[in-house]
Every structure is written in structure tokens, then in C-alpha cells.
Amino acid sequence: MPRNMKAIVHPEYGSPDVLRLEVVDKPVVRDDDVLVHVHAASVCKGDVHILTGTPYLLRLMGYGLLRPKHRIVGQNVAGRVEVVGKNVTAFQPGDEVYGQVSHGGFAEYVCAPEDTLAPKPTNLTFEQAAAVPDSAMTALQGLRDIGHLQPGQKVLINGASGGVGTFAVQIAKSLGAQITAVCSTRHVDKVRSIGADDVVDYTQDDFTKRGQRYDVMFDLVGNRSLSDCKSILNPKGVYVACAGEPGGNWIGPIVWLLGVALAGAVATQKMTTFIVKPNKDDLIFLKELIEAGKVTPVIERRHTLDELPDALRHVAEGHAQGKTVISV
């Protein structure tokens, strides 16, 4: 077995231009770890933040103050198990897996604790499976666990065409909700095709002026005032923020998210935000939804490993239609 591997390395914070394709040592497998031969990975907004080191508050949270703590970024992977640690019981070499790791995904191999991985959905390719973990778990937890979305309820998804949004539409449909999706003109047909009952083209229409009320608003953009958001909720409705106004390089959207928390303390409706918690149970739940044909990843772009800088630039622009995946 080779001791080296190819990986995309970022030796310093900065734009995608700082990234380098290098040959590095393969990760060391500890007792509770699984070594995965990565076949595909996907890009998320979190990768952009870790690459740039912004907001700067992120650096104080353990990512490295002056330079990155981990030289290889990448969180969402799919591949085959190569080696297992002596305490691992859930997997064996050859198993096809997918999951969200803390770092190291943009490489030929990644090492991760076994509880961050789950069996890959049998009806997905490795590229499709890599598109699932962070975005689908964010949508699932936001709608099911935070929004408490119930069958027959009405949900508005602001930002329905992006990586999280395309999963949110399908997961909301699987939960039995009536879905209003907000997106731009070029995404209307795609969002309708994956399950939206009603689509608002924000370039032509304002969802706050349609006279509609919703039980849940799942906000993946954060581009409207909180008073606007409250105005479209039912008296016991729930506003779930998963993004906010950029807020600059120092603290990013923290001010916006604090505003959501404060608004929730005084509003009759519930106003809240959350941080996704990667876990194996949700990966298995999503696997079951996918194998039942209720959720299918929407992939916009495919890149090779050496094209990762271009993929990160695209995701950083914030107008993705579905997921961007990396074939390793």
C-alpha cells in the first residue's frame, strides 16, 4: 500500500489561489478511526470560510490564528474503507461509505472517526453521495428538529436553489409539507421539478407582499429584515435562520444571528438559528430517504481534484444551483 497521496494543500489563509496540489503523507489510522479511499468530495460554504480564515472569529475557534491548523480542507466525502482501527466495529475494508469529516476531504485518502461515517446509499454514485452530508443534514435538522415541520403545514424556503435549498425542498416534501420556494428566474423550473408546490421568482415578485402566511420559514439567505420575515408567519409560526448578512471579515453574520435570537425572545413567533450537528443517525436517515426515492442530490458542477480552486470560487459567489462535486 502506498504511503503517500495527492492532496490539495492550503499553507496559508487566502483566496483559492493559495491552494496547491501536492504529494503528502497518508493519514495515520488511530484505534477508533477509519481510513477512507476518497472517490469524491463536495464543496460547501464552510470550506470557503476555512480557506479564507474569515470571519476572523473562526480563527479563535480552533482553526488556527495566523495560519491554518489543518493543511487540507474538505468536509464531505464518499469512498471505500481502506483500513479500520482496532476498536472499529461498524465497518470493514471494502465498505462503501459517505459522511462529513472535520477536515482533509480534498485528498485521495482521509482518516475519520467511525461515527462520522455511514454506509453509502446504494442507489447513488460516489459523486452523488459526496454531495449529501453537510447540506442535507442542515436541511433535515433545520426543518425537522428546529422548525418542527409537520405534515400539512406550509413552509417557505428562501434560497431554494442552492446546495442546502435543493435538499430542503425535497426533505420538506418527504415530511408532508406544502412548499413555497424562493429563487431566481433561471432556477424556477428546477425547483418546481424537485417538489415545490409554489415558486416565487424574487426578481419578479416579493414573497412578503403576497398575503400568504406560513408555519415555518427556512431562511438560507438572510437578505430580508426580521420584521419582513415575521410578517409572513402565522401567530405560532417558526423562523429558522441558517444564514445572515455577511457583516464583514471580523465577526461575519454573528450580529445578524444575535439579532434573530433577540427577536425570538420578544416575538410571539419563534425566531431561531442553529448550528448543524453532524451525526451518523441523520446520515442513515438520509440514506433511507434517498433509497426510497424521496431525495436525490442536485449536482450543478463536477470538477477534478486539481480544479478545486475554480470550484471554491464558484461556491464563494453564492449563486450555485445545487452542489459542486470533486472527483478524486
Q: Which domain holds residue 103?
A: 4-132+297-327
pLDDT-based confidence at residue 231 (cuts at 50, 70, 90): very high
Look up cell 478545486; give the residue: 308
CA–CA dist 175, 144 (Å, integer): 8
Checking if the pLDDT of 116 tops 60, the result is yes
The answer as to whether 290 is a domain residue is no
pLDDT at 246: 46
Q: What number of other Cβ atoms are within 10 A of residue 229's Cβ? A: 25
Are 195 and 317 in a shared domain? no
Q: Is 257 helix (H, G, I), strand (E, B) or coil?
A: helix
Are 70 and 197 in a shared domain? no
Count of alpha carbons within 13 Å of 276, Cβ hemisphere only?
A: 22
Are 89 and 140 in a shared domain? no
> Hey, CA dihedral for 64, 68, 72, 78, is it positive or negative?
positive
Q: Report pLDDT digits (tens) over 18-73.
A: 999 999 999 999 999 999 999 999 999 889 888 887 766 666 666 767 788 889 99
Are 138 and 171 in a shared domain? yes
Checking if the pLDDT of 104 tops 50, the result is yes
Share of the chain above pLDDT 70, in %: 90
The answer as to whether 182 is a domain residue is yes
pLDDT at 245: 47
Domain count, the chain: 2
Checking if the pLDDT of 248 tops 80, the result is no
DSSP 8-state code for residue 55: S
Global model pTM greater than 0.85? yes
Are 123 and 143 in a shared domain? no
CA–CA dist 130, 127 (Å, integer): 5
CATH number at residue 252: 3.40.50.720
Checking if the pLDDT of 281 tops 70, the result is yes
35: its cell numbers: 481510513
Q: Is 315 helix (H, G, I), strand (E, B) or coil?
A: helix
The whole-number average pLDDT for the span 79-100 is 97
Q: Beta strand 323-327 with 299-304: parallel, antiparallel or unpaired?
A: parallel
The answer as to whether 75 is a domain residue is yes
The whole-number average pLDDT for the span 212-227 is 92
